[in-house]
Chain A
């Protein structure tokens, strides 16, 4: 199956710092999403970004589909940004299947200290 690798696995920042999280995936996909899991376990959808660049406030994401990687940028981090960030991809395009079946990476545990 498709492989999703995230780096770094852990990241500790001081409030106000910027960070970049990376997601590599092993096959061409037309569905890639970034999620933030809060301390209570809920996954919050940040971006649907199979290609291109999007921005939402202090967060932005870029996916280079031809090179099979995606980056999530967090600027001016706040303590509320702490949690686990997951990259998830849909089935490989060559499988010609649709559906919301997502393969998740192992996540990046982000800790933002005051």
Chain B
């Protein structure tokens, strides 16, 4: 059974650009959540989607947005990139929103220069 797949794995962007990251959950999982990991702030919750609806959102500016499609795949977008957005972005999927057991992907490493 395939795990959580994130693309791209590595990318470099310039300040002011925007980026879209993709996440395909484990087959049958309908809940997808996103986290940002930086050396300074650690792992922080971005947002969670279930059945194409955003259920929770973390304390991030509006430049960070996401969506979920009918096949449960999810994308997150960061507009007007800042240097501080350089981070590992992790996607996780779970069978249902309780998050009893969640499975993480390998992440997308974003560098903003």
Residues of A within 8 A of B (CB): 31, 33, 35, 40-45, 48, 86, 88, 90, 97-107
Contact = CB atoms under 8 A, between A and B. Distances in A.
Given A33-B102, A90-B99, A43 B33 contact: no
Contacts, number: 69
Majority-rule SS of A interface residues: loop
Interface in B36-93: 37, 42-45, 48, 50, 55-56, 58, 88, 90, 92
Task: Name B's interface SS.
Answer: strand
Interface residues of B, number: 29
A31 B43 contact: no
A48 B101 CA distance: 6
Given A41-B88, A41-B109, A106-B42, A101 B102 contact: no
A33 B98 CA distance: 12
Interface of B: 31, 33, 35, 37, 42-45, 48, 50, 55-56, 58, 88, 90, 92, 94, 97-107, 109
B103 A98 contact: no
Given A41-B88, A106-B42, A31 B106 contact: no
Nearest to B94: A100
B88 to A, nearest CB: 5
A100 B33 contact: yes
